[in-house]
Structures are given as C-alpha cells and as structure tokens.
Amino acid sequence: MNRRQVSFLERLMGKMSPSGFEEDAARVWRDEAKKFTKDVYSDTHGNSFAVINPNGSPKVMLAGHIDEIGLMVTYIDDSGYLYFTGIGGWDTQVLPGQRVNIKTGTGLVSGVIGRRPIHLLSVEERKKVVEFSDLWIDIGAKNKEDASTIVSIGDPAVIQYGMESLMNNMLVGRGFDDRIGAYVVLEALRLLSEMGADMAVYAVATAQEEIGTRGAKTSVYGINPDIGIAVDVGFATDTPGALVDKKKVGDIKMGEGPVIVRGANINPVLFEMFTKTAESERIPFQVEACPGVTGTDARDIQATRQGVPTALIGIPNRYMHSPCELIHLHDVDHASKLIAHTVLMSKDTDFRIS
C-alpha cells in the first residue's frame, strides 16, 4: 500500500458512517474517486458511484458497503443521561465503559457509556448478558434541558476508536466492516482505468447494508449490470478457540489472500474465473463455502431484475462487529488486483449455467 492509498484509507476510516448516516465517509470516497474519473455522483438513498467508460460493454458493478454499525439516541432522562439503541448488529457486552462520539446538529460531542459498577451488581446480575436498557451515555450534562441544548433524539453515535497499525502489516480500527470493501472497489476501479479497460465499470459505496442490504437493492436496480461483484469482510478463523468457527466457515487466515466465496449466491462461471485469474496472476486466495444466500450485498445484486451473475470477495477480518476489527494489508491489496484482473477477463464470457 503506497502513501496515497494509506492517506485515503486513513481519511475514510477517520469518518463516522453508521447506517443511514454515511454522508461524511461517502464524501471522502467520492473526493478520492474524482482524482481519476469525472463520473462521480450520489443518489437519494446515500449510495455513491464512480464510473469509468459509462457507454462500454459489458456493464460491471463493484459494490462495497460504506456503512458501519452504530448507536442512536432514543431518550434523554431528567438528569441528562442519554439512552440509546443499536444501529445494526451489536454484541452489547463490548459497550460498557466505551467512549463515544455523537453526531449532533452542531458537530461531534463526546460521551461515555455508563453502567452500574460491578460492586453494586448482584451475583445474578453479573451473570446476565447486558442489554441496551442497562446502559446510558453520559455527556456530563447537568439535566435534561442542558443535554437537550446539544443532543437531539435520533442523533447517531459511534465508538471513539481510530485506525492504528499493528505488527506484520495488520491494521486495527472501528468499522472495517465494511469501509474496507468500499476502499477495495474504488482501488479496483482505479486499477482498471490504468489498465485501459473498455467495459463500463461502476464502483459503488453502498449504504445501509448493516440494516438489510438496502443500498445494494436500490443501486443495482438503477445500474442494471451484466456482472456484479460484492466485497465485504469475512470471518477469520485463526484465533484461539476458533475450531467451532472453522466447522462453519472454513479455515480462513489473515494475510493469506482474499476469500472467494462459493455457493448458491455465486455464479459458478464467475467463481471459476476468479480462481483461474488468481492462479494465473499468482495472487493468493482462500475459498469459503456458503450453501445459501450470504448476508451481504451479493444477496440483492444476484436476485435483481432478471438475475445478475454475482461473485463475493471477502477480506479476512478478526473481531467483527467490535470496536477493534483487524485486517491485513496484503489481503486488501490482493483483493483489488484480483478484482481488476478478473473484470478484464470477463468481457466476452457467457455466464449462463448449462
């Protein structure tokens, strides 16, 4: 990853983008896209598009969702404490004691997630899984009136957790699920523009995936592509105690290449094209078996209109849906290259299953 790529990723990860409130991260994504293509726009749903060769053929869609899980203020009590619920799927056990940023009408406001101290919990309470109703956000307000001058019902929030480098080309950050997918599809588009691709390629930073793959549904309908490729994070199973996970999703390791998913949600011709391209270009890859529909944008891309030949590429990810998700830089770089080279090979391919 070169200096420009690192700068782009840092800026992208530095913005909050919970589902329905993706605009800050989406602006960073579109600004980066404008550096190599003039065809950049957004829609009323919050999806962002960058296009090369809009009149070319075939029409290829690359989708990575730019939203992350977050929190939303639902109630302010008389003492000025904020109660909240989740945006997307949370393990509530990670929330107590976290610092948060709340996006208000006047800017970001800091707060902390409070819970009764362990000393004051009964033995039975200590054994229970914490629920949203057991938690609150403390912004230091004196009372409800004081808090309400700054925070409004419906304001979104995220955990205060930035991106940092770890050993051996690993990165940790909040919301790599799936801003890293939005990053990969734009980098793949940039590579295709440099490689002289003549087909129409749409990179899309889709919105609202964490609450039901909603952005993919609307954007793919509008584009009506001939080929669809989704990029999302996938479960790495190289952590302690992961034997049960391996039995579910396979043996997926960090740093050993992007994951090419295989199953009913994936067009078999396109799957084979990805694996053959990886082998010919000497790009490391891993395979994940998924017998049904995936919980990703690929689900809606495949089943739109008359059906779209679809592939799903995964970036191995540790500690998904926590504030400290891990990815490996080599997997990210290889994913962009694999997608770009495969798209170039797809021009005259018949994806019908016979």
User: Distance from CA of residue 210 to its chain's centroid?
Assistant: 8
- Write down the catalytic residue from 32, 209, 256, 325: 209
Contact 210, 68 (CB under 8 A): yes
Q: Which residues contact 35 (CB under 8 A, 6 or more apart)?
A: none
Residue 322 has phi, psi (to 5 degrees) of -125, 170
In the residue annotation, 209 being an active-site residue is answered as yes
DSSP at 178:
H
* Phi-psi domain of 71 (left: phi exceeds 0; alpha: psi -120 through 50; beta: other): beta
Q: Please calculate the CA angle 89-90-91 and round it to the nearest 5 degrees.
A: 135
- Which secondary structure element, helix H or strand E, spans residue 330, and what is its range? helix 329-345
Question: Residues for the chain: how many in total?
Answer: 354
Question: Cα separations (Å) of 174 from 69, 191, 296?
Answer: 9, 26, 19
Any idea which residue has 């749409």 for tokens? 202
Catalogue the active-site residues: 209
